Structure 1
């Protein structure tokens, strides 16, 4: 079993707040495909990274998680590209880890 996490921004690269409908549409797509979803959206997560030696970038994110028996990396690669266009981002982080249900 795999846990897949999607880190979705609240603002585009120009600092403009993204429409809630973008997140809702993504949520609905994932629920339809995977049968459920956990959203960490109450208090946005803060992302910070060093773009170069003098420039630090900060972002506010929501995290969506889905679980799946398999990991179709081709589908996820394509879906990441769709999300990057949808959310007007240079890169959307999607990560997966193998998990064991207890």
Structure 2
């Protein structure tokens, strides 16, 4: 059976270096669990995102939330990405999807 694994990369800090409270992440957990029936959250040790920016290297400490779904509703995900960008005060939140097959 083909499924889609959707990963959401969320920052631990805003652009001014202030840590987000657990309320923001709990909202994401609740919304995704309600929408998809469950989720996996990688929150124990932050991952580090790196990218080239203005002649240097920028980074974010991030947590990753994952859901699996059979149908990939691109319109819903685009809308939800905008919600998360506003909530986490980010220019861009990465949400990516890949096809998977359960073994």
TM bin, normalised by shorter chain, reads: over 0.9
Structure 1 equivalent of residue 12 of structure 2: 10
CA RMSD of aligned residues (A): 0.7
* Deviation of the 1:19 alpha carbon: 1.1
Pairs aligned (count): 101
Deviation at 1:56, TM superposition (A): 1.6
**Within-5 A mapping of 1:1-102:** 1-53=3-55, 55-102=56-103
| Stretches of structure 2 lacking an aligned partner (at least 5 in a row) | none
Structure 1 consecutive aligned stretches of length 4 or more whose deviation exceeds 2 Å: none
Alpha-carbon distance between aligned partners in 2 of 1:72 and 1:93, rounded to the nearest angstrom: 16
Q: TM-score, normalised by structure 1?
A: 0.96
TM-score, reference length from structure 2:
0.95
